Structure 1
Amino acid sequence: MSDTRRTDAVLLLVALVWGSSYLSAQTATAALPVLLVLLARYALSSLACLGLLAARRSPRRWTRDELRVGVPLGVTQAAVLVVETYGVAHTSAANAGLIISLTIVLTPLLDRAGHPGGLPPVFYAAAGVCVLAVGLLMSGNGFHAPRLGDLLMLGAAVVRAGHVALVGRLTVGRAIRPLHLTTVQTLVGTALFLAPAAHELPTLVRADAATWTQLVYLALFCSVFAFLAQTWAVQRTSASRASLLLGTEPIWAAAVGITLAGEHFTTLTGLGAVMMITGTYWGQSVERAHRSSALPRSEVHPTGNEGDTRCPTTAPTAPTTPTTV
């Protein structure tokens, strides 16, 4: 297998793992309280990150910048996860993966510093397609009051977009090691969820093997593994190629929900799914082209300059990609 195909395969695997995270989170929250699921996921991710740091021969001490950036980003990431995980618990895995991809077009609207002179009108047309898509996805079998889970996922997309924009502002111009930053964030998240979920710990101890399997999968594969694999892959390909491959995440989310959970699309929600994928790809392409043309050539990083914020990890060197649980 050539290096290019190997890198593409890794990026597609990351997108598949992230797309499957919605069904795993939904399954876990059906057996355990949401806050307990988040505590377990953060704690397991923290242990894995600390283990990786201990295994490395490079200096393990955190820098002042890594702590100053990691703590606030850990708080905002935890806020994203609370809204997102409650949303997943009250809607379908397919809808969750599709609606949260709205983050792609919301982030540039909040990150005004990265777009001098404003975004081109065609970007707003792409955003409009995504908004219409959300309406169709929320319609279910017909137009009615939106479901709680869909509204929560919409809120999660807004909060996550703000988090991604904050990642860009706090990490720019700072020498921050991704694994060190990630470890800080996971420790912050663990501390935040420990108190409110502590009284539920006996429930976690009594959880069956299937539930623990979902928790381990969320922590070790959807968070730690996917983060490290993404970081490795984006350093070996272009931002456009990485974004295209990682952008298949909502497609995998829908496929996993339909195949494994027996979910199905009506005509309206199927149309909404197509419109969401089309709108996010279109908006991402327009934003990337606008950003590249607005920056001097020497300032355009070969792997992009947006941070992907997959819970509970953040990779400041990754390109703008869909983000999910």
Structure 2
Amino acid sequence: MVDTRRTDLVLLAVALVWGSSYLTAKAATDAAPVLVVLFMRYLISALVCVPLVLSTARRGEGRRRWTSEEVRIGSVLGVTQAAILVLEMYGVAHTSAANAGLLISLTLVITPVLDHLGGRRRHAPLPVRFFLAAGLCVVAVGLLTSSNGLHTPGAGDALILAAAVVRAGHVVLVGRLTAGRSLRPLQLTSVQTVVGTVLCLAPAAGGLSTLTRASAGVWGQLVYLALFCSVFAFLAQTWAVQRTSPSRASLLLGTEPVWALAVGIGIGGERLTAFTAVGALLMLAGTYWGQAVERAHRTTAQERAAQEGEDTAPSPAASTAAAAAPTAG
């Protein structure tokens, strides 16, 4: 019981950190260019992760610091992760932190769709109820991106919606590339942080001088994004999901948009209109409903496959959907 509570608390802490990252990123991008903030987030993360890998190698684990597979796969995932964060950071700079946290939760319903469309083996079609839940989320998007009435989503909202699609594709890619391979999370993370640092260096170079005028608060935000929202969140999540079920982990990590909403309103002073309040409720209901339907559908398919003597392994993307969100926030 104690271990279960500890694991649940760790997962909730990860969800809280990710939820708070939207307001932190918004505040940081108000003081420095988006790509500078992103470059520093990657650089600080890399300066922590790489020495950790080197220190564990020196203690003698009997394996190389990085295997060729870890470098190759980590590099590919580093590119897709950077794409997500660029979209998210530019998006949150032009919308509210609460909106960003709620809209990015669409990843939960987009991922199973992409997983089924891109699956190498035949999948049973998703039930109609799943698409009803997805439709509820679409209605929620319209309400969330409105103020006093419905209108076309703003640039920031559109970028966050694009980030949700790319993030879902990233989750599916993680599942495909890591399935059946012995890959170490810390090594993969360190490669991704180095790739992100390299990719952001040239675009951010022209704005790095703005950091010389940055306040201690801005530097604190950069460190928080790097150490807590990236390094801590990913490693803590990896530790926790190994000690609980994918369903329970997914449910707890799925509270991220709730925390984003609470932090945005409670700390950021963001205002919720009647339209956006209803949209927030519909988004939470739609994503939780869609996730529950997909999970039940996957479990039934595995049980049917077991009865027929087929491979019962879950879809890689489905089982990593909750654990593949280190890109978040």
Structure 1 length normalisation: TM-score? 0.92
For 2:181 and 2:157, locate their aligned partners in 1 and report how far apart those are by CA, in whole Å: 37
SS of residue paired to 2:80: helix
Give, as a single letter, the amino acid of the residue that structure 2 aligns with 1:54.
L
SS of residue paired to 2:320: coil
Give the stretch that moved more between structures: 230-239 or 130-139: 230-239
Give, as a single letter, the amino acid of the residue that structure 2 aligns with 1:269.
T
Match of residue 19 from structure 1: 19
1:222 equivalenced with 2:233 (yes/no): no
Select the residue among 69, 90, 93 that pairs with 1:65. 69
TM alignment of 1:260-279, pairs within 5 A: 260-279=267-286
Aligned residues: 314
For 2:325 and 2:114, locate their aligned partners in 1 and report how far apart those are by CA, in whole Å: 18
Give the stretch that moved more between structures: 211-220 or 50-59: 50-59
Give the stretch that moved more between structures: 28-37 or 67-76: 67-76
For 2:84 and 2:15, locate their aligned partners in 1 and report how far apart those are by CA, in whole Å: 19
For 2:293 and 2:174, locate their aligned partners in 1 and report how far apart those are by CA, in whole Å: 21
Contact 2:112–2:318, Cα closer than 8 Å, also in 1 = no
Give, as a single letter, the amino acid of the residue that structure 2 aligns with 1:247.
G
Match of residue 105 from structure 2: 101
SS of residue paired to 1:102: helix
For 2:177 and 2:169, locate their aligned partners in 1 and report how far apart those are by CA, in whole Å: 12
Give, as a single letter, the amino acid of the residue that structure 1 aligns with 2:194.
L
For 2:128 and 2:54, locate their aligned partners in 1 and report how far apart those are by CA, in whole Å: 49
For 2:122 and 2:173, locate their aligned partners in 1 and report how far apart those are by CA, in whole Å: 15
Give, as a single letter, the amino acid of the residue that structure 2 aligns with 1:61.
R
Give, as a single letter, the amino acid of the residue that structure 2 aligns with 1:287.
E
Give, as a single letter, the amino acid of the residue that structure 1 aligns with 2:74.
G
The offset of 1:304, in angstroms, is: 6.6
Deviation string for 1:124-145 (max 9, x for gaps)?
A: 1111111111111011222233
Give, as a single letter, the amino acid of the residue that structure 2 aligns with 1:289.
A
For 2:207 and 2:235, locate their aligned partners in 1 and report how far apart those are by CA, in whole Å: 31
For 2:68 and 2:176, locate their aligned partners in 1 and report how far apart those are by CA, in whole Å: 16
1:194 equivalenced with 2:201 (yes/no): yes
The offset of 1:272, in angstroms, is: 0.5
For 1:14 and 1:46, locate their aligned partners in 2 and report how far apart those are by CA, in whole Å: 19
TM alignment of 1:26-37, pairs within 5 A: 26-37=26-37
> Percent of aligned pairs with the same residue?
64
Contact 2:142–2:151, Cα closer than 8 Å, also in 1 = no
Select the residue among 106, 111, 114 that pairs with 2:115. 111
TM alignment of 1:113-262, pairs within 5 A: 113=119, 116-262=123-269
The offset of 1:78, in angstroms, is: 0.6
Give, as a single letter, the amino acid of the residue that structure 2 aligns with 1:118.
P
Give, as a single letter, the amino acid of the residue that structure 2 aligns with 1:64.
S
Structure 2 length normalisation: TM-score? 0.91
| Contiguous gaps of at least 5 residues in structure 1 | 313-323
The offset of 1:99, in angstroms, is: 0.2
Contact 2:171–2:325, Cα closer than 8 Å, also in 1 = no
Give, as a single letter, the amino acid of the residue that structure 2 aligns with 1:50.
V
The offset of 1:275, in angstroms, is: 0.5
Match of residue 313 from structure 2: 299
Contact 1:70–1:184, Cα closer than 8 Å, also in 2 = yes
CA RMSD in angstroms, aligned pairs only: 1.9
Contact 2:95–2:157, Cα closer than 8 Å, also in 1 = yes
Contact 2:28–2:37, Cα closer than 8 Å, also in 1 = yes
**Runs of 4 or more off by more than 3 Å in structure 1?**
307-312
SS of residue paired to 2:267: helix
Give the stretch that moved more between structures: 288-297 or 152-161: 288-297
For 1:300 and 1:102, locate their aligned partners in 2 and report how far apart those are by CA, in whole Å: 22
Give, as a single letter, the amino acid of the residue that structure 2 aligns with 1:34.
V
